Every structure is written in C-alpha cells, then in structure tokens.
Amino acid sequence: MRNIALLLISILLLFSQSLQAVVPAFAGKLPVGSFDAKLSASTIVPDEIQTTGEDLITDFTLHKGQISGVIRDQYGLAKSELQLILIKDGVIVSRTTSDAGGTYLFNGIAKGDYTLVLYHIYRCIWRRIRHQENSLSIANFRVMRYDIYQDGTAKTANWEIAPGRIFRERPIPVAGPYAAPQPPPYEPEEYIPSMPSSFISPLEYEITPLPFNGNTAGYSNLRRHLNHGIIPPQQSIRLEELYNYFDYYYPKASGEEPYSITTEVAPAPWNQKRDLLMIGVKTRDSLPKASRAANLVFLVDVSGSMATEHKLPMVKEALWQFVGQLRPGDRLAIVAYNADQAWLLGAANGDDLQSAYQAIELLEPGATATQHHDISLAFDIAREQFIFKGQNRIIHCSDGDFSFGMTSIELENLVVEQADYGISFHPLGFGMGQYRDPNLRNLAQNGQGSYAYIDNLQEAQRTLHNLVYQGSDLLLEDLQMSLRFPDGIVKAYRYLGFTNDSSTSDMDTQLSFPGIKLESGRSYTFFFELVPGASKEQIPGIPEVNIFKPEASSIRIRAIYRQPGSMIRKSSSRIFTCKSKALENSSERFRFAAAVLGFGLKLQGDPDSSAITWQMLENMATNSLGEDHSGERAEFIRLLGKVKELQEQ
C-alpha cells in the first residue's frame, strides 16, 4: 500500500511540473496590470515598466509575425484613436493607434516576450505577450464599466482585458508588409465539417437522390479567406457550393416545361480510370404575367459585433442600392434587433421609397429603442404585409453570432412555423470574426430558404437580386429528384457534395429528402464520380460487378412534385446517355466546372486528390473560360493563382 502511495505522489509531482511548464505558453496567463494616468501624454509609461528608449521596427519583411486585437467599449462598440506601444527588453519597438473598427496591428514582430501598453486619457493597461515566430498573437481589450464621481460630473474608464489567444497553428502566409483590411477574429469562426463522401455500389443502392442546394456561401467565404492571404480551413469547403456559384449556360427549357436537364460524362482529369457525371438542371425564366410581387422584411443585427467595416456598414450600403430596384407592387420593412430587443425602423412600398431610405440611415451598431418587442416582431410584420401567391421572405443580416433572447429550439420552432405559413427565412452572413456558419445554415434549412455569405458589396448586390428577382415565378412545389443507375453501367459511384441524410434504401432514399420549391431563373449542378463497370479497380467494401453490359449506357432521372396550389403529387422520368467521351471532346462548361470541383477537392483534402495540381487546374480553367459576362470565371483563375502562391511560401 505504501508503495502505491509513493507512486501516486511521484505521478502528481511530475504532472504539476509539466503543468507549470505549459501554463506560461498562454498569453492570457501572463502578468497584467493597470495604471491611473494623470496626463494624456503618449510618452507616459507606468513605473512598473522601465524603458530606456525606442528602436522602432521599420523593416517588416524580416519577420512575418503580427500582434493584433480589437478594442471595444462596454457595449461592444469599437474604440478608435487609442494609442498602444509595444515594449521588448525595456525598449519601445513599435507604436500604433486603433482604427475606426477598433482594430490595432503591429507588423514585423519577432519571437519573444513583449509588454503591450494601451493608453486612455484617464487610464492605461498592459499585458505580457509571449509571441511565437511568424504567428498571429491576439490581445483584445474592453471597457467593462464607468466610475462616476459623486457629483456626477466626471467618469473614468475602467479597462479590463478581454480574452486573447495565440494562434500558433495559423502562421501568416504572406510575404512583405501585411496590412489587415479587417480585424482578426475576436472569437474563432465555426463551420459544420464537410466530410468526403464514400463510394456506393449500384448493386445495393441503384437509386440516389439529387440534393438540390442553391447556397453559394462556401465560395464567397473561400474567396474572403484567400483575398486576406489565408488558406481556408478544410471544414469550410463545400464542393456543391463552389461549382454551383457559376453559371454554365445550360440549354433553356422548351415550351411550357418548367426545367431542362443536361448530362455529360467524361474522364476525371486527375484520374483517367474514373468518370465524372455532370448533371445540370435549369429552370425557365420568369414569365412577365407570372412575376410575383415581393413582401420583404429585412431583419438586421445591430449588436456591437456588427460595428466593423465589412458588417453593418456593408449591410446599409447593400440595402441602399437594393431598395431602388423595388417594383410598384413590392413591400419592404426594416427591423433592427439587439439581443431580445427588436423594433421597426420603417416600412415602404415600391411607389414610395423615402421611408425605406430613412430607416436605412437609422441602422447603427449598439442602437437601442425605448419601445421594443421580441424578435417575433419581424414575423408579425411579414404576416401583416403577406402577399397571396407572392414572395414572402424574411432576410436576416448578421455575422451569425446572434442572440434572439430565446433558446435555439424556440427559434427553430418559430422559423418552421412561419415557413409552413408561407414565409421563408433567408440568412445572410457578413464580415469575419464571430462568424457562425452552422447558425445560418440551420436557420435556412428550417425556414425553407437559402443562405449566403457576403464578402463584398458586389456579392451583396448579386445575392439580393438573385434571391428576389430571379425567383419571382413559382414553378413546382415539393420537388424530389432521383438518379437511377441500371445494372452493369458502373461498379461504384459517389456524390461529390455534402448531404447529411443517412437513409440509403432505394425509393425510400428519394422520399426521405425534403422537397424544394422550384423557382424560375435558377440553375443547379450535380457531380458524381463513377467507377466504370468494366474497371479492374478494387474499391474497399464494394462488391464486384458480375454482369457488365457494355450496351447499357443510359441513366434515368425521376422527379416527384406538386403543381403550385395543388395537393396531388405527380411524377415524370427522363432517360439520358451515360456514355463517357474523351475529355478533350467535352464541353467548355464541363471542363471549367471540373476545375472548380478539383479546386474544392484539393482544398478539402480529399483522399483521392493527391494527383491534382494547382497548375493542372489553372490550365483547365484558362482553356475553358468560355462565356464570362460577369467576370466571375476570370476571378476564379485569379484565386487559383493566389492559393498556389500561398502554398508555395
């Protein structure tokens, strides 16, 4: 027994020693302090911090590290024009000032221990930072309260240190000086992991659903990361949201058909032993007489986290430009919210837009109202303005880090209830830092709407226009579409996209997927990777095809749907060729879409993407540029070059 006790004591001693070695590695655990400044001179340094002079950093190319953070007041609003100095070994090595977004940035910082001092007119605060080479160290500050003198005439800011982190796992992949266009993440961003899909045998499941996804947030979020010199995290990559971002100019539907279907098969550029099946669905354009009026309620987050440049200011600019597109029969309302407070700023129609413009000007971060309601106010307004057989949408603008003053279950139930009533919910994500992708995605799914990520003003204009005016004609309801592989065509297949459905039993698979509303002016693309039936390749867990039929080269696409306003479900099916053609004989749309797909597979870290090179993708995209009226394809080629540079550093 005595030996066991001695052994336990030894283990505890070893653990405590290792813990002591680990704790100093975190900036938040290093010493902090404060000092009451009697003067506002920028040269004041507390007595506890001795300085002997200045040796300011001027060559930012020597080291790529940064120390940065956000300074906010007690309401979460940005604090600008506050001075900070960085001290190392008693020498001031850098000075900076917080910008309009409350962000400060020190560039070219070498590895070492530093003292960071923040000055305010009445008070200063400092913290020790243990900075790693070529990393981004983050230290945030916040005013927690104000001290008011008894006579009520003076108040002194009481600064406290907000949580800070050192991101050692994210070295800054840039060369030369780095100027951050946006503040670093005040909190980490969140995404739902998108795992690579696995192969399925058509001998077991010959029918697979086509999961319609009109979201394109994954592409604009990826673009934001690359434009800021950062390789996007793997879990943020969603293949279907990348290749669905582009228009492939599919043939239009003929006559009164609600949609056209285009299929094409060619070898995968990075694995000639496998084929890629591309399926394109294009709905017909809006008919002038069927164009539906829009009832739009913009629900805008005005909490403190929306104060930075690419959040609420961009929302206001996007709304200002969008309001001018309203038609005479359209209705619009703007509701602001902060936590559980919500209030109507203004309502307008297409004939009188003045109140809408006035409401946009009232959008300010951290705003409050004397009379307010809970968040259900937006849904009440949408119901009051409800347009029968029209577009009734709530468009939610936030960074995804929102609090509605209710539980997530209560919010989901509210969104589902209103969607059943005919009011869809469309979240739009803005800015970087505190961005919560799962929140937006979940609300869009429950609200029978779509969601998007807005990284610039052009994307905001594109998203709002497509959301309201490309879908003004409702074609079909509860649409479910499935793909059937007859015996002997393929040995295995997998959908190159994301789905969280677990059902895998033939027709039950199709019926288990939620039906969608098919609207005019939409395009959807699906990619499947096929292992041909004659292939000798062994796929783990996939049985061999005993009967291969070379003459069998057709696939069947079946649709189940309802006509708008009808309760009767109908079905239709079409047969398409599944015969592979040489890659050089494939269409420009196929080759460009395959380049976008390969781009996503490589960034996602797909196990079969090792043969994909950035140069291969760049050549494919350049040689298949085709029609590019909006310049989006040329921008994709630029992003390819950007990620290649970042990977080579």
Could you give the number of structural domains in the chain? 3
Instruction: Judge if 459 and 496 occupy the same domain.
Output: no
Per-residue pLDDT averaged across 386-390, rounded? Answer: 86
Domain contains 37: yes
Domain contains 352: yes
Q: Which two tokens stand for residue 538?
A: 């062994």
**End-of-domain residue from the set 445, 469, 493:** 469
Report yes or no: 187 and 401 within 8 Å, Cβ to Cβ: yes
Show the DSSP H helices in 249-375 as ranges: 312-323, 354-361
What's the pLDDT at 113? 86
Instruction: Judge if 411 and 303 occupy the same domain.
Output: yes
Residue 501 pLDDT greater than 70, yes or no: no
What's the pLDDT at 174? 31
Of 296-310, 317-331, 422-436, which range is least confident? 422-436
CB atoms within 10 A of CB 614: 18
What's the pLDDT at 292? 80
Q: CA-CA distance, 468 to 473, in Å (whole number)?
A: 10
User: 196: Cβ–Cβ under 8 A, 6 or more apart, which residues?
Assistant: 604, 605, 606, 607
Residue 342 pLDDT greater than 80, yes or no: yes
Instruction: Judge if 222 and 261 occupy the same domain.
Output: yes
Q: Which residue has the higher pLDDT, 169 or 81?
A: 81
267-296 confidence digits (pLDDT tens): 999 999 999 999 999 998 876 555 688 999
**End-of-domain residue from the set 469, 502, 528:** 469
> Which among 568, 632, 575 has a CA at the least distance from the CA of 247?
632
Per-residue pLDDT averaged across 167-190, rounded? Answer: 38
Instruction: Judge if 240 and 311 occupy the same domain.
Output: no
Bridge pairing between strands 271-283 and 523-532: antiparallel
Q: CA-CA distance, 601 to 116, in Å (whole number)?
A: 42
193-221 confidence digits (pLDDT tens): 666 678 888 887 888 889 888 888 899 98
What is the CATH classification number for the domain harbouring 450? 3.40.50.410
Instruction: Judge if 422 and 380 occupy the same domain.
Output: yes
Q: Which residue has the higher pLDDT, 469 or 166?
A: 469
What's the pLDDT at 388? 84
Instruction: Judge if 485 and 605 occupy the same domain.
Output: yes
Of 111-120, 254-263, 327-336, which range is least confident? 111-120
Of 176-185, 477-486, 615-624, which range is least confident? 176-185
What's the pLDDT at 433? 61
Domain contains 189: no
The top-scoring range by mean pLDDT among 178-192, 280-294, 334-348 is 334-348
Q: Which residue has the higher pLDDT, 132 or 347?
A: 347
What's the pLDDT at 11? 40
Instruction: Judge if 235 and 299 occupy the same domain.
Output: no
What's the pLDDT at 512? 52
Q: What percent of the chain has pLDDT over 90?
A: 24
Instruction: Judge if 72 and 217 occupy the same domain.
Output: no
Of 155-159, 214-218, 263-267, 305-309, which range is least confident? 155-159
Q: Which residue has the higher pLDDT, 370 or 341?
A: 341
Domain contains 268: yes
Q: Measured between alpha carbons, how far is residue 604 from residues 11, 195, 268, 429, 609 in Å? A: 41, 8, 17, 22, 9
Instruction: Judge if 509 and 454 occupy the same domain.
Output: no
Q: CA-CA distance, 630 to 458, in Å (whole number)?
A: 11
Q: CA-CA distance, 342 to 382, in Å (whole number)?
A: 14
For residue 65, what are the domain limits? 23-167
The top-scoring range by mean pLDDT among 30-39, 57-66, 468-477 is 57-66
What's the pLDDT at 13? 40
Domain contains 18: no
**End-of-domain residue from the set 109, 142, 167:** 167
Residue 128 pLDDT greater than 50, yes or no: yes
Q: Which two tokens stand for residue 439?
A: 């929140």
Report yes or no: 292 and 473 within 8 Å, Cβ to Cβ: yes
3 state SS for 449-500:
CCCEEECCHHHHHHHHHHHHHCCCCEEEEEEEEEEECCCCCEEEEEECCCCC
Q: Which residue has the higher pLDDT, 22 or 53?
A: 53
Q: With cut-offs at 50, 70 and 90, classify the pLDDT of residue 177.
A: very low
- Judged by DSSP in three states, 485 sits in coil
Domain contains 182: no
What is the CATH classification number for the domain harbouring 86? 2.60.40.10
Domain contains 415: yes
- Judged by DSSP in three states, 332 sits in strand
> Which among 157, 175, 164 has a CA at the least distance from the CA of 61?
175
Q: Length of the chain in residues, anyone? A: 649
Q: Measured between alpha carbons, how far is residue 78 from residues 35, 75, 431, 584 in Å? A: 22, 9, 15, 55
Mutual orientation of helices 632-648 and 614-623 as an angle, nearest 10°? 160
> Beta partners for 268?
271
Question: What b/e readout covers 423-442, taking b as 16+ CB neighbours within 10 angstroms?
Answer: bbbbbbbbbbbbbbbebbbb
Domain contains 199: no
- Mean predicted lDDT score pLDDT of the chain: 77
Residue 16 pLDDT greater than 70, yes or no: no
Q: Which two tokens stand for residue 342?
A: 């919500």
Q: CA-CA distance, 148 to 170, in Å (whole number)?
A: 42
